[in-house]
Each structure stands twice: as C-alpha cells, then as structure tokens.
Structure 1
Amino acid sequence: MPTFVLFDLEFTSWPGALEQDWGAPGQLREIVQIGALRLREDFSVVAEYEALVRPVVNPRLDAYFTELTGIDQETVDREGRPAAEALGDFLGFCRGESVFSYGNDMVVLGENVGWARARGEEVEHGFLDASFLNVRPWLNAVAPETRTANVGRLWQVLGLPRPGAGAEHSAVFDCRSFAAALEHLHGKGAVLPAPPFVH
C-alpha cells in the first residue's frame, strides 16, 4: 500500500435527522462537501481533494446544516459543482487506491451516485476501481476512548496537537483529524486493517 486515501463527507441535514436516520419525508443525505487526503505509508500528504456540491432535491441548505459545518448557501450556490461531475471527479481521485472512512460514508457516496444515475446523469469512474473500507470499528477497538467521538474530534480525544486550521464538520479538517489518529495509533504499534483487494 504505497499510498492510500482518507475521505469524509458533509451532507444535508436537519435538526433530529441523525436520530431519525434521515427518515423524515424528503430528507435525503445529499453530499454538499467532499474532502480527501492521499497519504504515503509514513502519513505524509501526497495530494488533497476538496469539492463543494450543489444538492438537487434540497437545494436550500437548512440553517442547522450551515451552523454545524460553516458552509453557507451563498458559497454553495457560487462554488458548488453539479453532483455527477463532483462524484466522478472524486472517484477518479480514488482510482486504484485503498480508501478509508471513519463510518459508512461509502454508503452515502453510493446513494448519491445512484441518484445521479437515476436522473440520467453520467458519473465518470466507479467504485470497482478502488477499495473502500470503514475503519471505525477497528479504530474504536484499538482506542476505546474514541467510541463516542466523531471524526473531527479524534485528535482531541487522543490528546494530539490540532491538525491544522479549520474545525470539525469541515471535510478536509476531519480528514486531517482522521490521519492524525491513524498515525498516532500506528506509532503505538497498531497495524491498519487490510482493505479488500483492488482489481
């Protein structure tokens, strides 16, 4: 594994959505921000990826989401990319890599790719060119103190230096927090789980 990718998503949300598993009518987990880091085995950053995405079903961001992430409507309207374009671009970034998330973000990614294709939009690249793995169960087992922590707080829970500028619920910052936690645990002798074979 000469390089690997860590990624994180921010997606539409409303008060109580997490507790209801986005089960209320019309509440879809539409991706608004994608963040990723390509790392070497020594955890140095080779490349960084970030994209804002314009949601389709719920194009108006809820105030709850904006307060949580710091992403406002004006910025998404101005800088957001069409979903199919951003998703294809990100899957291209992941091509040939082992891709780790802290949680089931690959499920949300799959939902969004499915919705774009159902709208008749072409999404370049696909999931088969990368190997996705949720490492949260492994990380929580190795460091039980992280069990209730979201990805953006891992650095804090583990007592590590702040991993750069930004704040939790910003996708790239969350990736840096994730990377800091993995590097710390690796330094203590933990071996990263092996992802499924990449074709």
Structure 2
Amino acid sequence: MSTFVVFDLEFTTWQGALEQDWGAPGQLREIVQIGALRLREDFSVVEEYEALVRPVVNPQLSSYFAELTGIDQETVDREGASAAEALGDFLGFCQGQSVLSYGNDMVVLGENVGWARARGENVKNGFLGAYFLNIRSWLNTVAPETENVNVGRLWQVLDLPKPAEGKEHSALFDCYSFAAAIKHLCGTGAALPEGCMRCP
C-alpha cells in the first residue's frame, strides 16, 4: 500500500508579524518545530516525525511565540537540533512521497534550507525526491467552514473527535488535526487533488 506525508511547521514569530508578513527588520521565519505523519491510503498512521530546531538569526524565542506554541527557550536550547541536521532528516523522511501541507509551509521550508546552505551548512537531502503540495484551497472548497481556520482547529470546525493529545500550534498535533480532516472529507465522498498519492 502506498503512503504519503502530511506536515506542519512552527517558526519564529512576534506580535503582529503575520499581519506584516514578517516584514520587520530581522524577523525571519526560522523553523523551530517540524511535525509530520506518514499515512497509508486508508489514513492510518505508519510513522511520526517530530523535531525541535534551534533558530540561528533569532536564537531567543519571543514571548509571543512561546505563549502561542507552548515551546520554551530551555527546551529548544537543550533538545533542538541544528537547522541543517533537522532539515536534512525531515527531507529524508519525505523522500519518494507526496508531501501535503495546509498552507505554504514548503515555502518556509525552502527559505530555511536556503539560509542553511548560505551559511555553508550541508543539508543532506534535497527537495527533488519528494512532491510537495499545498491542499488548503481544496480543503477550504470542499468544507467552506474551514476557510478562516488554522490547521490545528480543523477537527473542531468539522465536529470531529480530538485526534491526539496536545493542542493547536504544536506541529505534530496540527498534523493529526490535518489528517483527521482529510480522512473525514474523503469519507464523505470528496476526492483528494490529483498528485496527493503520487510517488516521484
């Protein structure tokens, strides 16, 4: 049975950064947490992926980010991997898979890979062996009530059972919310966009 991946990122942010599109000086979208699930065609979970990442340009997390995600400075300092290591491992996890996101997380992923390489760091896997696809527009079209909802709240808006322990803005929990929404919508007769089960 073929598999595919759903993923979510948490990255550095500040009060008002979203509204300003991270346009303030020095405010980069550096990845702090990666979550992913490898799923079978029946949406059962084959494997989880989760990593904490130490940001480089802004190593001190904002209080806004910590409150939003529940990720504290001490944990990132103690358990966070280097950007190159975490990004390479995650891209390895994605090899040979369709990789689905709820939004343009692959753009943030690309930014972070580019910054790591510009620093002279070796990211051991690349994008070419995976097929990244943002299916937010599909999901919002099939279920219009989700249009203004973040990925971690999809399960609530669709009136589904809580899919896992944890809360929104935790990358792995958000993946479970995303996967539950996809499974529910496909179970009601919606067809995933072409390419979602594609193997490159």
Normalised by the size of structure 1, how large is the TM-score? 0.98
The code of the aligned residue for 2:23 comes to G
| Aligned position for 1:3 | 3
Any unmatched runs of 5+ in structure 1? Answer: none
Matches within 5 A, 1:36-51: 36-51=36-51
The code of the aligned residue for 2:182 comes to L
Matched, 1:163 2:172: no
Matched, 1:80 2:80: yes
Matches within 5 A, 1:1-199: 2-195=2-195, 198-199=199-200
What is the Cα deviation at residue 194 of structure 1?
1.9
Distance 1:21 1:90 in 2: 25
What is the Cα deviation at residue 198 of structure 1?
4.6
Aligned length: 199
Give % identity. 78
The code of the aligned residue for 2:141 comes to A
Distance 2:190 2:173 in 1: 23
Q: Is the 8 A contact 1:84 1:123 kept in 2?
A: yes
Distance 1:172 1:3 in 2: 18
Distance 2:161 2:135 in 1: 22
What is the Cα deviation at residue 186 of structure 1?
0.5
* Two-structure CA RMSD over aligned residues (Å): 1.0
Normalised by the size of structure 2, how large is the TM-score? 0.98
Q: Alignment partner of 2:128: what SS?
A: helix
What is the Cα deviation at residue 44 of structure 1?
0.4
What is the Cα deviation at residue 36 of structure 1?
0.1
Q: Is the 8 A contact 1:132 1:195 kept in 2?
A: no
Deviations, residues 81-104 of structure 1 (Å, cap 9, x unaligned): 000000000000000000000000
What is the Cα deviation at residue 167 of structure 1?
0.2
The code of the aligned residue for 2:18 comes to L
Distance 1:183 1:114 in 2: 33
